[in-house]
């Protein structure tokens, strides 16, 4: 396992080392600040330097959790060269005593370091990562009819989706919606009546959207093995893009059993961390796609290592993203940076769009995000827009 995990790392960041060589050792980190973003359950990170340039990231933890972890991470980074990203990532991710590292917390710091590296060297992050492999990245959204069993309601919903000016061509829909169960909580074995409702609801959606839209069947790791197999059979007829997270998060032989019998593509990974979390799923051929979240899996450094590992097994990578604008931009840059990228989730299309967080947000057309051209992540935060996603308890200022 150690050998397999080490192989993809060889030469992975050669381009980064080349493009940053002239700037190494010239700048120092002076401070790390944060701002809660409870509207998406994350925390924004800002890394300041003595060059007057700051990098921004997004951690997959709450402000209170991030504040606690910064007590551990800040001493490792202050007065250090921000371009020594691999060194910093290694030190943060291998903490053991007295507490093991919090990977979602360091994910936002790592993201901010890559943004900072781009700004210091004048390169977009995707260029530092070795891209671009494409000019635009496919993005999709979470949306569903308020009643999947009512054809009239589904028809109205489909009409509204077609009228969306951003032109999304793929949607993710919860399996718990037709059976009125809470998502993300372990549930008992589904009945035949439950399965009939799931089949009917997704068939209604496919009938209204037609073949030109991708439909992702969304679970939240709540089902047992018999239910997961039955759901796969129930939705087989709509030809879904994938069946997501039907079993509990951690790898088990049940994933292998499901994959053996399942005739729809399987995807998992939004709550897995580091290459080690994905290795058993890849080695045992238990999934068709993997689905890291950059704010959770270990940042851009980790997801590049994860993608390199997946490439050994010829497994495509998609990105989970229900976060803010910085996570969205990181997902776009990552999608530009590897060959076998599939698509990225995005928190868009709602009453309040995460795009309000940026003064220069990406312009989504036809469900595609364009290649950014500015250095770093390529967006400037709009503090007023960020405030729209803050909630009670979030600090209005950087702390």
pLDDT digits (tens, 9 = 90+) for 159-186: 999 999 999 999 999 999 999 999 999 9
Quick one: pLDDT at residue 241?
98
Please give the share of the chain, as a percent, with pLDDT higher than 70: 97
d(CA 42, CA 37): 5
Quick one: pLDDT at residue 317?
98
Q: Strand 42-49 relative to strand 341-345: parallel, antiparallel, unpaired?
A: unpaired
Whole-number CA gyration radius for the chain? 21
In this structure, the dihedral spanned by the alpha carbons of residues 222, 223, 229 and 234, taken in order and rounded to 10 degrees, is: -70
Q: Which residues contact 268 (CB under 8 A, 6 or more apart)?
A: 244, 245, 247, 249, 255, 281, 287, 290, 291
pLDDT at 147 over 80: yes
Phi/psi at 197 (5° precision): -65, -40
pLDDT digits (tens, 9 = 90+) for 103-125: 999 999 999 999 999 999 999 99
Please give the share of the chain, as a percent, with pLDDT higher than 90: 95
Mean pLDDT, the chain, integer: 96
Q: pLDDT band at 5, cuts 50/70/90?
A: low
pLDDT digits (tens, 9 = 90+) for 28-59: 999 999 999 999 999 999 999 999 999 999 99
Q: Record the pTM.
A: 0.96
List of domains in the chain: 2-126 (3.30.390.10), 128-377 (3.20.20.120)
């Amino acid at each position: 396992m150690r050998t397999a995990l080490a192989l993809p790392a060889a030469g992975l960041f050669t381009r980064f080392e080349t493009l940053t060589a002239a700037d190494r050792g010239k700048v120092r980190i002076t401070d790390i600040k944060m701002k809660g973003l409870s509207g998406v359950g994350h925390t924004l990170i800002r890394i300041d330097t003595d060059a007057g340039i700051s990098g921004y990231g997004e951690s997959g933890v709450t402000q209170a959790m991030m504040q606690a972890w910064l007590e551990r991470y800040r001493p490792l980074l202050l007065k250090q060269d921000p371009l020594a990203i691999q060194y910093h990532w290694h030190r943060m991710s291998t903490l053991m005593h007295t507490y093991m590292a919090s990977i979602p917390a360091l994910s936002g710091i790592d993201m901010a370091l890559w943004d900072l590296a781009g700004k210091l060297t004048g390169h977009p992050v995707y260029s530092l990562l070795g891209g671009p492999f494409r000019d635009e990245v496919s993005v999709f959204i979470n949306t569903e009819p308020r009643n999947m069993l009512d054809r009239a309601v589904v028809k109205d919903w489909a009409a509204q989706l077609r009228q969306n000016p951003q032109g999304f061509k793929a949607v993710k829909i919860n399996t718990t919606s037709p059976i009125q169960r809470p998502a993300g909580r372990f549930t008992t074995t589904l009945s035949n009546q439950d399965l009939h409702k799931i089949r009917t609801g997704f068939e209604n959606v496919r009938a209204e959207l037609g073949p030109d839209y991708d439909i992702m069947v969304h679970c939240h790791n709540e089902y047992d093995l018999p239910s997961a197999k039955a759901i796969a059979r129930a939705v087989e007829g709509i030809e879904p893009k994938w069946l997501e997270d039907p079993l509990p998060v951690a790898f088990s032989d049940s994933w292998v059993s499901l994959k053996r019998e399942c005739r729809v593509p399987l995807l998992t990974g939004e709550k897995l961390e580091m290459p080690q979390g994905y290795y058993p799923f890849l080695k045992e051929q238990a999934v068709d796609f993997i689905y890291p979240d950059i704010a959770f899996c270990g940042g851009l450094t980790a997801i590049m290592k994860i993608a390199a590992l997946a490439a050994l097994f010829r497994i495509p990578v998609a990105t989970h993203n229900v976060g803010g604008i910085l996570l969205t931009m990181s997902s776009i840059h990552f999608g530009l940076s590897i060959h076998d990228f599939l698509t990225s989730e995005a928190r868009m299309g709602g009453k309040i769009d995460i795009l309000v967080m940026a003064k220069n947000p990406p312009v989504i057309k036809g469900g595609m995000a364009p290649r950014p051209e500015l250095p770093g992540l390529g967006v400037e935060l709009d503090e007023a827009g960020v405030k729209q996603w803050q909630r009670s308890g979030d600090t209005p200022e950087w702390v």
